[in-house]
Amino acid sequence: MAFVRSAPTPIFMSLVRLLQSMAHHAHRRETAPMTPKNPHECRADGAGSGGVVIGVQATDGVLLAADTRTSRDAIVESDEAAKLWSVHPSAAVGSAAEPGDADSLVTRLRREVDRYEYHHSRRIRIPTLATVAGRECRAHPERDATFVLGGVDEAGSHVFRIGVDDGVIESDYAADGSGRQSASVILDRDYTDSLSLEDARDLVASAIESAVERDPRTGPAVDIAAIRETGVTVRRYESPDAVRS
Protein backbone atom coordinates (compact mmCIF):
# COMPACT_ATOMS: atom_id res chain seq x y z
CA MET A 1 0.00 0.00 0.00
CA ALA A 2 1.47 3.38 -1.00
CA PHE A 3 1.35 6.41 1.29
CA VAL A 4 0.85 9.85 -0.20
CA ARG A 5 2.58 12.72 1.67
CA SER A 6 0.14 15.61 1.85
CA ALA A 7 1.28 19.28 1.65
CA PRO A 8 1.38 21.28 4.91
CA THR A 9 -1.79 23.19 5.60
CA PRO A 10 -1.69 27.00 5.93
CA ILE A 11 -2.57 26.71 9.63
CA PHE A 12 0.34 24.32 10.23
CA MET A 13 2.80 26.64 8.46
CA SER A 14 1.59 29.66 10.45
CA LEU A 15 2.17 27.72 13.68
CA VAL A 16 5.70 26.80 12.58
CA ARG A 17 6.55 30.44 11.78
CA LEU A 18 5.16 31.57 15.16
CA LEU A 19 7.31 29.07 17.07
CA GLN A 20 10.42 30.07 15.08
CA SER A 21 9.80 33.75 15.86
CA MET A 22 9.37 33.05 19.59
CA ALA A 23 12.61 31.05 19.69
CA HIS A 24 14.50 33.86 17.89
CA HIS A 25 13.35 36.55 20.33
CA ALA A 26 14.07 34.36 23.35
CA HIS A 27 17.65 33.90 22.11
CA ARG A 28 18.08 37.66 21.69
CA ARG A 29 16.90 38.29 25.27
CA GLU A 30 19.36 35.74 26.64
CA THR A 31 22.38 37.08 24.76
CA ALA A 32 21.71 40.84 24.78
CA PRO A 33 23.67 42.89 27.40
CA MET A 34 21.61 44.20 30.32
CA THR A 35 20.94 47.95 30.22
CA PRO A 36 20.14 49.75 33.49
CA LYS A 37 16.69 51.27 33.62
CA ASN A 38 18.03 54.36 35.37
CA PRO A 39 21.05 56.11 33.79
CA HIS A 40 22.36 56.93 37.26
CA GLU A 41 22.89 53.19 37.86
CA CYS A 42 25.73 53.31 35.34
CA ARG A 43 27.48 55.88 37.50
CA ALA A 44 27.38 54.03 40.79
CA ASP A 45 30.81 52.46 40.45
CA GLY A 46 32.63 54.86 38.20
CA ALA A 47 31.48 58.43 38.02
CA GLY A 48 31.34 59.58 41.66
CA SER A 49 34.51 60.26 43.59
CA GLY A 50 33.23 58.10 46.48
CA GLY A 51 34.20 58.26 50.13
CA VAL A 52 32.01 59.49 52.98
CA VAL A 53 30.73 62.82 54.31
CA ILE A 54 29.07 63.11 57.73
CA GLY A 55 27.19 65.86 59.54
CA VAL A 56 26.32 65.72 63.26
CA GLN A 57 24.34 68.16 65.40
CA ALA A 58 25.90 68.98 68.77
CA THR A 59 24.77 71.02 71.74
CA ASP A 60 27.30 73.75 70.93
CA GLY A 61 27.43 73.61 67.13
CA VAL A 62 27.68 71.24 64.18
CA LEU A 63 30.49 68.93 63.15
CA LEU A 64 31.07 68.03 59.50
CA ALA A 65 33.60 65.34 58.62
CA ALA A 66 34.85 63.79 55.40
CA ASP A 67 37.53 61.45 54.16
CA THR A 68 40.08 62.67 51.59
CA ARG A 69 40.06 59.97 48.88
CA THR A 70 38.74 60.41 45.35
CA SER A 71 38.59 57.53 42.90
CA ARG A 72 37.24 56.44 39.55
CA ASP A 73 36.26 52.81 39.15
CA ALA A 74 38.93 50.90 41.08
CA ILE A 75 41.61 53.58 40.57
CA VAL A 76 42.49 55.98 43.40
CA GLU A 77 42.92 59.45 41.91
CA SER A 78 43.91 61.31 45.09
CA ASP A 79 44.25 60.75 48.83
CA GLU A 80 44.40 64.48 49.57
CA ALA A 81 41.12 65.80 48.19
CA ALA A 82 39.01 68.39 50.02
CA LYS A 83 35.31 67.55 50.38
CA LEU A 84 34.25 70.26 52.86
CA TRP A 85 33.65 73.91 51.98
CA SER A 86 32.55 76.95 53.98
CA VAL A 87 29.61 78.65 52.25
CA HIS A 88 28.64 81.12 54.98
CA PRO A 89 30.23 82.54 58.16
CA SER A 90 28.40 79.88 60.19
CA ALA A 91 27.70 77.11 57.66
CA ALA A 92 29.57 74.58 55.53
CA VAL A 93 28.75 71.81 53.08
CA GLY A 94 30.36 68.48 52.27
CA SER A 95 29.97 66.20 49.28
CA ALA A 96 31.37 62.89 48.00
CA ALA A 97 30.31 63.75 44.44
CA GLU A 98 32.55 64.47 41.47
CA PRO A 99 34.87 67.37 42.45
CA GLY A 100 33.72 69.44 39.47
CA ASP A 101 30.05 68.95 40.33
CA ALA A 102 30.63 69.85 43.98
CA ASP A 103 32.78 72.90 43.20
CA SER A 104 30.16 74.23 40.79
CA LEU A 105 27.35 74.04 43.33
CA VAL A 106 29.49 75.56 46.10
CA THR A 107 30.33 78.53 43.87
CA ARG A 108 26.67 79.07 42.98
CA LEU A 109 25.57 78.67 46.58
CA ARG A 110 28.03 81.28 47.84
CA ARG A 111 26.81 83.67 45.15
CA GLU A 112 23.16 83.09 46.13
CA VAL A 113 23.96 83.67 49.82
CA ASP A 114 25.63 86.99 49.00
CA ARG A 115 22.65 88.00 46.86
CA TYR A 116 20.13 87.06 49.54
CA GLU A 117 21.95 88.93 52.31
CA TYR A 118 22.43 92.00 50.10
CA HIS A 119 18.70 92.22 49.30
CA HIS A 120 17.48 91.38 52.83
CA SER A 121 20.18 93.20 54.81
CA ARG A 122 20.53 90.32 57.26
CA ARG A 123 22.17 86.92 57.58
CA ILE A 124 20.45 84.07 55.87
CA ARG A 125 18.95 81.48 58.21
CA ILE A 126 20.26 77.93 57.82
CA PRO A 127 16.91 76.36 56.77
CA THR A 128 16.62 79.04 54.09
CA LEU A 129 20.18 78.27 53.00
CA ALA A 130 19.21 74.60 52.72
CA THR A 131 16.21 75.53 50.56
CA VAL A 132 18.48 77.57 48.28
CA ALA A 133 20.92 74.63 48.04
CA GLY A 134 18.07 72.27 47.17
CA ARG A 135 16.89 74.60 44.45
CA GLU A 136 20.38 74.75 42.97
CA CYS A 137 20.60 70.93 42.97
CA ARG A 138 17.25 70.59 41.22
CA ALA A 139 18.28 73.19 38.64
CA HIS A 140 21.18 70.94 37.57
CA PRO A 141 19.97 67.32 37.87
CA GLU A 142 22.61 66.16 35.39
CA ARG A 143 25.27 66.68 38.07
CA ASP A 144 23.61 64.12 40.37
CA ALA A 145 25.37 65.62 43.41
CA THR A 146 24.22 65.11 47.01
CA PHE A 147 25.37 67.37 49.85
CA VAL A 148 25.43 67.43 53.63
CA LEU A 149 24.89 70.95 54.96
CA GLY A 150 25.63 71.97 58.54
CA GLY A 151 25.12 75.35 60.10
CA VAL A 152 24.27 77.34 63.21
CA ASP A 153 21.92 80.31 63.52
CA GLU A 154 19.89 81.98 66.26
CA ALA A 155 17.54 78.97 66.30
CA GLY A 156 20.35 76.50 66.99
CA SER A 157 22.22 73.77 65.13
CA HIS A 158 21.04 72.30 61.82
CA VAL A 159 22.08 69.37 59.62
CA PHE A 160 20.52 68.75 56.19
CA ARG A 161 21.00 66.15 53.50
CA ILE A 162 20.30 67.70 50.11
CA GLY A 163 20.03 66.01 46.73
CA VAL A 164 18.21 65.89 43.42
CA ASP A 165 16.24 62.74 44.29
CA ASP A 166 15.75 63.11 48.05
CA GLY A 167 15.11 66.86 48.22
CA VAL A 168 15.98 68.69 51.46
CA ILE A 169 15.86 66.59 54.63
CA GLU A 170 16.78 67.91 58.09
CA SER A 171 17.93 65.42 60.73
CA ASP A 172 20.14 65.14 63.81
CA TYR A 173 22.87 63.58 61.69
CA ALA A 174 23.44 62.60 58.08
CA ALA A 175 25.92 60.66 55.95
CA ASP A 176 26.51 60.42 52.24
CA GLY A 177 28.87 58.75 49.78
CA SER A 178 29.99 55.22 48.98
CA GLY A 179 30.86 54.67 52.67
CA ARG A 180 27.49 55.91 53.89
CA GLN A 181 26.05 52.57 54.99
CA SER A 182 29.05 51.59 57.11
CA ALA A 183 29.18 55.03 58.73
CA SER A 184 25.43 55.10 59.37
CA VAL A 185 25.61 51.90 61.43
CA ILE A 186 27.85 53.71 63.94
CA LEU A 187 25.83 56.94 63.85
CA ASP A 188 22.54 55.08 64.41
CA ARG A 189 24.03 53.17 67.33
CA ASP A 190 25.96 55.88 69.17
CA TYR A 191 24.39 59.27 68.42
CA THR A 192 22.60 61.11 71.24
CA ASP A 193 21.20 64.64 71.28
CA SER A 194 23.41 65.53 74.27
CA LEU A 195 26.70 65.31 72.35
CA SER A 196 29.08 68.25 72.54
CA LEU A 197 31.36 69.11 69.61
CA GLU A 198 34.17 67.29 71.41
CA ASP A 199 32.00 64.18 71.84
CA ALA A 200 30.95 64.39 68.20
CA ARG A 201 34.60 64.21 67.12
CA ASP A 202 34.90 60.73 68.63
CA LEU A 203 31.62 59.67 67.01
CA VAL A 204 32.55 60.78 63.48
CA ALA A 205 36.03 59.30 63.88
CA SER A 206 34.49 55.89 64.60
CA ALA A 207 31.98 56.28 61.75
CA ILE A 208 34.66 57.15 59.19
CA GLU A 209 36.94 54.41 60.53
CA SER A 210 34.13 51.91 59.90
CA ALA A 211 33.76 53.20 56.33
CA VAL A 212 37.52 53.04 55.70
CA GLU A 213 37.60 49.40 56.82
CA ARG A 214 34.72 48.34 54.56
CA ASP A 215 34.77 50.68 51.58
CA PRO A 216 37.91 50.83 49.38
CA ARG A 217 36.81 54.23 48.06
CA THR A 218 37.03 55.79 51.54
CA GLY A 219 40.27 56.92 53.20
CA PRO A 220 42.84 57.66 54.43
CA ALA A 221 42.84 61.12 56.14
CA VAL A 222 39.94 63.02 57.73
CA ASP A 223 38.85 66.66 57.44
CA ILE A 224 36.83 68.07 60.33
CA ALA A 225 34.82 71.29 60.17
CA ALA A 226 33.70 72.60 63.56
CA ILE A 227 30.82 75.02 62.98
CA ARG A 228 29.72 77.54 65.58
CA GLU A 229 27.62 80.68 65.26
CA THR A 230 30.89 82.61 65.49
CA GLY A 231 32.58 80.84 62.58
CA VAL A 232 33.79 77.69 60.80
CA THR A 233 37.12 76.02 61.57
CA VAL A 234 38.46 73.27 59.30
CA ARG A 235 41.34 70.98 60.23
CA ARG A 236 42.87 67.89 58.60
CA TYR A 237 43.92 64.76 60.48
CA GLU A 238 46.06 62.00 59.03
CA SER A 239 43.71 59.22 60.18
CA PRO A 240 40.51 58.61 62.17
CA ASP A 241 42.69 57.71 65.18
CA ALA A 242 44.33 61.12 65.03
CA VAL A 243 40.90 62.77 65.35
CA ARG A 244 40.45 61.15 68.76
CA SER A 245 43.84 62.18 70.16
**Domain range list for the chain:** 47-244
Nearby residues of 18 by Cβ (< 8 Å), 6 or more positions away: none
Distance of CA 29 to the CA centre of its chain: 34
**What is the predicted pLDDT for the residue at 19?**
59
**pTM recorded for the entire structure:** 0.79
* d(C-alpha 152, C-alpha 175), whole Å: 18
Cis peptide, bond prior to residue 89, ω within 30 of zero:
no
* d(C-alpha 64, C-alpha 203), whole Å: 11
DSSP 8-state secondary structure symbol assigned to residue 218: S
**What is the predicted pLDDT for the residue at 20?**
63
**What is the predicted pLDDT for the residue at 6?**
54
Q: Nearest CA to 55 among 170, 164, 198?
A: 170
> Are the C-beta atoms of 226 and 92 separated by less than 8 Å?
no
- The CATH number of 47-244 is 3.60.20.10
**What is the predicted pLDDT for the residue at 14?**
59
Q: What is the pLDDT along the chain (245 residues), one digit of tens a residue?
A: 554 455 556 665 655 565 565 555 444 444 333 333 332 232 333 345 799 999 999 999 999 999 999 998 889 999 999 999 999 999 999 999 988 889 998 999 999 999 999 999 999 999 999 999 999 988 888 777 899 999 999 999 999 999 888 799 999 999 999 999 999 999 999 999 999 999 999 999 999 999 999 999 999 999 999 999 999 999 999 999 999 97
> Are the C-beta atoms of 70 and 77 separated by less than 8 Å?
yes
Q: Which amino acid is at 43?
A: R
**What is the predicted pLDDT for the residue at 17?**
64
Strands in 147-153's sheet, in edge-to-edge order, are 84-88, 91-94, 147-153, 156-163, 167-170
Phi, psi angles (nearest 5°) of residue 241:
-60, -35
Phi, psi angles (nearest 5°) of residue 190:
-110, -10
**What is the predicted pLDDT for the residue at 15?**
58
**What is the predicted pLDDT for the residue at 175?**
97
